[in-house]
Amino acid sequence: MRLKDKIALVTGGAGGIGKATAERFAEEGARVAICDLNEAAGLETIKELGPEASFHKVNVADRQSVQAWIDEVTARYGRIDILVNNAGVLRDGQLVRYKEGQLVGSMSESDFDLILAVNLKGTFNCAQAVAPVMISQKSGVILNASSVVGIDGNFGQTNYVASKAGVIGMTKVWARELGRYNIRVNAVAPGFTATEMVTSMPEKVLDGMKARTPLGRLGQPRDIANAYLLLASDEAAFITGVVLRVDGGILVGT
């Protein structure tokens, strides 16, 4: 029961890594509040998490929506011990795409803006809303979802890589700014993980992912959740400002 009686918030908690993290935290004694845009999945998830769990429909890119959620959670539970900034989206595409010497496509401005709004600004919005609560109680843990591609880069992911690299930068800044208040800030960088979004890809693509991973398999959402659990627990009391790769040893290349 490493998180007994802790109040833990998980964004994007209705599915994938977010849901696995919420479940893992609840198993370790935390009272979990999740948010997501998928209301049906969110309400179903909190049934599994127990009577102390709560769900709110929140767009993390919307500051007012985030603040209303944080205010309501604080009023209900009295404190916030852990925030996992897990919510994120994908809109892949090449910067420019040429065929036979002709420009045939490019990443749209709207796709670039959407990824930055959710993955980067959403992380900023949630952390900024939670920080005053944690400062007032002189303790807290903020955990941010980056990615191995935020470290290594990846073909066809300008927007996603920019957002996840930005999350790493913010993590290091916040660790320095908030450490004086006994608030730890870390990031987790998953590799290829068997979420619904990934497992729906063609078998050939999945085989390629496995072949490029030294451990020979995709990560499971629970693998990533276990990393969040470690960093959220008192076992990581002297760990802040780090990026923990949970990737089976992969190095993303061209």
What residues are labeled active site?
160
Interatomic CA distance for residues 250 and 144, integer angstroms: 20
* Tokens read off for 219: 């990560």
Interatomic CA distance for residues 165 and 148, integer angstroms: 9
Token pair 């949630």 in the structure block, residue: 126
Adjacency order of strands within the sheet including 82-85: 54-57, 31-36, 7-11, 82-85, 140-145, 183-190, 243-246
Give phi and psi for 220, each to the nearest 5: -100, 150
- Pick from 203, 121, 119: which is nearest to 159 by CA? 119
Token pair 């948010």 in the structure block, residue: 35
Interatomic CA distance for residues 215 and 106, integer angstroms: 35
Interatomic CA distance for residues 234 and 246, integer angstroms: 20
**164 membership: H or E segment, kind and range:** helix 158-178
